[in-house]
Amino acid sequence: MNVLAQDPALETFVLNMGPQHPATHGVLRVKLVLDGEYIVEAEPVLGYIHRMHEKMGENRTFAQFMPNTGRLDYLSALSYNHGYVCAVERAAGIGVPERAEYIRCITVELNRISSHLLWLGAYVLDLGGFTPLLYAFDDREILLDLLEGVTGARLTYCYFRFGGVYNDIDDDFVTGLKGFVKRMRTRLPMYHNLVTKNIILRKRLEDIGFITPELCRKYGATGPVARGSGIDYDVRRHEPYSVYPEFKFDIPVYPKGDSMARYLVRMDEIEQSLRIIEQGLDKLPSGPVMAEKVPKILKPPKGDYYHAVEAARGAFGVRLVSDGTNTPYRLKLRSPSFSNLSLFAEAAQGLLIADAIALMGSLDLVIPEIDR
């Protein structure tokens, strides 16, 4: 809607938020048309760090593209590993040992907690609170040490393989993970006392940045953004994959649709990920972590394949078109952050600039995932 066309007498000016604004967590520019401090129009401008991942996927073998998946949403890299290997395994008809499936889910949920902790610290920092960042990174450091021990990396993971995982987890990892789960359970009440119940934060988030279910459907928003608007949808539950059907966990849903609702969804998701990790460790079967006789060079049959997973920011989908050769004919990556950002222009109309920062932070955007 062009507000200026409706009211030509409106005195406005243009402000560029970005492309290096610290609240955007990446190279994003938002062109704001303002009436005083109120937003009349907001236009996200993308492409500053576009890296042509999808085109690279068409010029590499299936295995060679695997490291690229960890460079999309680098805060939730294992989910992207998972989505890609599942799509290729579906295309090539590769089975995965049960132990490997459990390890995949355990590490993905650990990575989800890592992502949410970074979002929590950075979000509150955007709103003027410094201390929670230190607590969040203190917990996250322990988590990253655990993942580094088994994957060899701390951020851009490339741990999964077609038919399993790179290496098995050991007793040190299991012991350390059980200790982290126990520790995190004692830390969550602290976060709620320090942050969730903080009156300053509540005034910044409650009744600010409303996103309706209709707006979510219009732009294809998923993940905590949609669940914060009352949409009960999670790929793990509604399009089950891997061994997620073996776990009991809740899908946090808040109907209000404001920034506080999206905050609460992510805080609850940390607890649910802890539940999944505990069950995964309790049920972890013995056996191999790689399928036997997986070809070194994959040539999936001709066809059109799709697989989606629940990443930290929503549904990540991989559409793979194979022409029978060792490289994909077409590789389309469905990015949750792109859809979630798309609704910002409409949701931000009428907000103060400071409230638009609260709205944007509640979307939990990772710009390199958008600029694929």
> Using one digit for the tens of pLDDT, what is the confidence trace for 262-297?
999 999 999 999 999 999 999 999 999 999 989 989
pTM for the model: 0.94
Q: How confident is the model at residue 23 (pLDDT cuts 50, 70, 90)?
A: low
pLDDT tens string 328-345 = 999 999 999 999 999 999
- Considering the chain, what percentage of its residues have pLDDT values greater than 70? 96
Q: What are phi and psi of 166, to 5 degrees?
A: -65, -45
Q: Kindly report whether the peptide bond that precedes residue 213 is cis, defined as omega within 30 degrees of 0.
A: no
What pLDDT, on the 0 to 100 scale, is given for residue 50?
84
- The pLDDT value recorded for residue 331 is 95
Q: Cβ atoms within 10 A of the Cβ of 145, count?
A: 12
| Contact call for residues 84 and 70 (beta carbons, < 8 A) | no
For residue 143, tell me if it sits in a domain: yes
Q: Is the pLDDT of residue 8 over 70?
A: no
Report which DSSP code applies to 196.
I
- Measured CA to CA, the distance from residue 119 to residue 265 in angstroms comes to 12
254 occurs within a structural domain: yes
Residue 207 belongs to a domain: yes
Domain contains 116: yes
Number of domains the chain is built from: 1
Q: How far apart are the C-alpha atoms of 274 and 113, rounded to whole Å?
A: 8
Domain that holds residue 163: 52-346+359-366
CATH code for the domain in which residue 109 is found: 1.10.645.10
Provide the pLDDT for residue 5: 43
Is residue 223 a part of any domain in this protein?
A: yes
* pLDDT, mean over the chain: 93
Report yes or no on 24 lying in a domain.
no
Is position 28 within any domain?
A: no
124 pLDDT exceeds 70? yes
4 within domain boundaries: no
